Structure 1
Amino acid sequence: MPVAHSELTFSQRANYFVGNLFLRGLIGGLKLIPYRWRVPAMGWTLRKVAPLAGFHKRVRRNLHYTRPDLTESEVDALCHQVADNVGRTLAELYAGAPFWARAKAAPINGPGLKALEAARAEGRPVVLVTGHFGNYDAARSKLVQMGFNMGSLYRRMANPYFNDHYVKAISATGKPMFEQGKRGMVEMVRHLKAGGNIAIVADMHAIGGQYLPFFGRPALTSTVPAELALKYNAAFIPIYGLRGDNGIDFEVVVADEIPHSDPVTMTQAVCDDLERMVRANMGQWFWVHRRWKPMHDTPHPDHPDSA
């Protein structure tokens, strides 16, 4: 978890401050470019910056650990695709109205759509789970504009200077927003009890979670979303904002509702469904995350390149 600003060293604060200035300057400058060119421009920028920032190294490490069957040329291509998608997503999160218009126009389909609409008709709460895939905020924006009572759980960024800017940007899509932590959990539970819906990005390394298979490797995964669904009789449904072939449009995919059973079984179903989506669209997942730490912090005998 990110530490409090007061706990940072002077060097850490200085690095974060400079990083915040760079990112905000880059985003502000790109806003001068029309949206249809701005989004691919940010993707291009991240493709150039990614090798210098160590992103490609992390992507390679994750892929070598989980997909050793890929060739080096396939890994190279995915490094660029991942950086491009991350850049586009960052530009979209700060775009405001042009992004909301694209999300509103996105077709929404999938076997779980009927369950989602039925829950709204019944006044039943819904726990929607997604991953850092495509643009995860496109799905939330689509549902907000369809009239769903959406709340979202977010994780505070490590950079305290940039975090405030980030929260302001994502809050513009719709509120309430719940910061991960004790206070945010209390507010989120209150929202669920009132029959509201919450969206949770559930594919981060989660201290206190369970090691569950994801791409055949144990990944520390939070079971809290499933526990909330069980406790408050909420429908438990995976959802994704899939990026279109043109790079700026989306399709919102609502997967099958996951039946209530126990938190581990339900959470494993989330992991399996996300893996299915990622395998079909490998370049759209954020392979830059340290999803499998600390499992591959040391070389694995089967995958020497994972060191």
Structure 2
Amino acid sequence: MKDDMARHNLSPLMKLRYAGEYVVLRLVAGLIRLMPVDMASRAMGKAWRLIAPKTKRHAHALEHIALAYPDMPPAERERLARAMWENLGRIAAETFQLDRLHAQPSRYTFDVEDARAFVEKNGGAAVVVSLHTGNWEIIAEPARYVGLDTAGVYQALKNPYADAYLTDMRQRYFPGGLHAKSHSTARRLIQHVRSGGAIAFLADLRDVRGVTVPFFGHPATANPFPVMVARTYGVPLIICRTIRRDGAHFHFEARVLELPREGDRQADIQEGTARIHAVFESWIREHPEQWMWIHRKWVMPKKKRKPASQ
């Protein structure tokens, strides 16, 4: 219904443009699916490593790496950024092969037993948070392994044709539904938790309307909603990550994160969100090439404009 409404609201020119983009997307997906998973992942990774550094986003990545690692030599920052692009290219290819990845459990190893035991003892209502590392497109796999009925949240694409196609590939792995961010999404997610389900977020994104937390020694904005839900409804917050091991093979880690419940609601939410980001930072430092450095996470100072010449 949402996609139909979006299409009806488009001008003929935008419909034509989005249709063209969709055709290209399907052609790329078709070519990728002609290859085995490992071959497609490797080929796309090498292609992105070669091409992406020529784009404007490469400069953004280098800027953010320098912010996080001020003592890192420029050559090492460049190496790290190129390795990041290779990981992102692999993710792009693997996204079109999600069904094959999920059908091959030998690709996965798990360190989630503490979270699994907690869920088995206390029930499946939970908030799950992760970050853009390894391959976040398969983050539903550890949630399934732990035994959660998970609902996911995603940022809808402007192109409704591409959005519908990609959502269809992803939503089958979220038994609680996959919801686009909107004004009504929060209400649906809360209802899912109150009904005994779990909700999952990629919680490392910037949120200018959220709270400010320390991240790599600098202020960064963050979404307080995961901690707010966990605290309000008394459910555990499970923090998890995906680590790329050998090519298209992955290791999952998940554990219950202790949240403050001191009585001051706002202070608890602030501190809980900061704890999440402290864990995120420690994980990123272990495998910095697997995080998405192109994202504008930090509160960056505004660059001063040069005064106009007299």
* Shorter-normalised TM range: 0.7 to 0.9
Is the Cα–Cα contact under 8 Å of residues 102 and 141 in structure 2 kept in the other structure? yes
Is the Cα–Cα contact under 8 Å of residues 115 and 255 in structure 2 kept in the other structure? no
Q: Which residue of 1 aligns with 2:128?
A: 128
CA distance in 2, matches of 1:248, 1:42: 12
Q: Which residue of 2 aligns with 1:206?
A: 207
- Say yes or no: does 1:270 pair with 2:276: yes
CA distance in 2, matches of 1:254, 1:145: 11
Is the Cα–Cα contact under 8 Å of residues 49 and 82 in structure 2 kept in the other structure? yes
Q: Percent identity?
A: 24
Deviations 1:70-107 (A, max 9, x none): 11111111121111111111222221332113456522
> Letter of the aligned partner of 1:77 in structure 2?
R
Is the Cα–Cα contact under 8 Å of residues 103 and 139 in structure 1 kept in the other structure? no
Q: Which residue of 2 aligns with 1:43?
A: 45
Where in structure 1 are there 5+ consecutive unaligned residues?
300-307
CA distance in 2, matches of 1:12, 1:263: 42
Alignment of 1:146-295 (within 5 A): 147-175=147-175, 176-244=177-245, 246-261=246-261, 262-292=268-298, 295=300
Q: How far off its partner does 1:297 sit?
A: 4.8
CA distance in 1, matches of 2:18, 2:70: 35
Q: Which residue of 1 aligns with 2:265?
A: none
Bigger Cα displacement from structure 2, 224-233 vs 207-216: 207-216
Q: Which residue of 2 aligns with 1:74?
A: 76
Bigger Cα displacement from structure 2, 265-274 vs 182-191: 182-191
Q: How far off its partner does 1:54 sit?
A: 2.4
Q: Give the secondary structure class of the aligned counterpart of 1:141.
A: helix
CA distance in 2, matches of 1:181, 1:60: 32
Q: Give the secondary structure class of the aligned counterpart of 1:107.
A: strand
Q: How far off its partner does 1:146 sit?
A: 5.3
CA distance in 1, matches of 2:302, 2:18: 24
Where in structure 2 are there 5+ consecutive unaligned residues?
1-5, 262-267, 305-310
CA distance in 2, matches of 1:215, 1:128: 22
CA distance in 2, matches of 1:16, 1:75: 36
Is the Cα–Cα contact under 8 Å of residues 124 and 235 in structure 1 kept in the other structure? no
Is the Cα–Cα contact under 8 Å of residues 104 and 141 in structure 1 kept in the other structure? no
Structure 1 runs (4+) greater than 6 angstroms displaced: 4-15
| Larger gyration radius, structure 1 or structure 2 | 2
> Letter of the aligned partner of 1:298 in structure 2?
K
CA distance in 1, matches of 2:281, 2:203: 12
CA distance in 2, matches of 1:291, 1:18: 32
Alignment TM-score, normalising by the size of structure 1: 0.85
Q: Give the secondary structure class of the aligned counterpart of 2:186.
A: helix
Alignment TM-score, normalising by the size of structure 2: 0.84
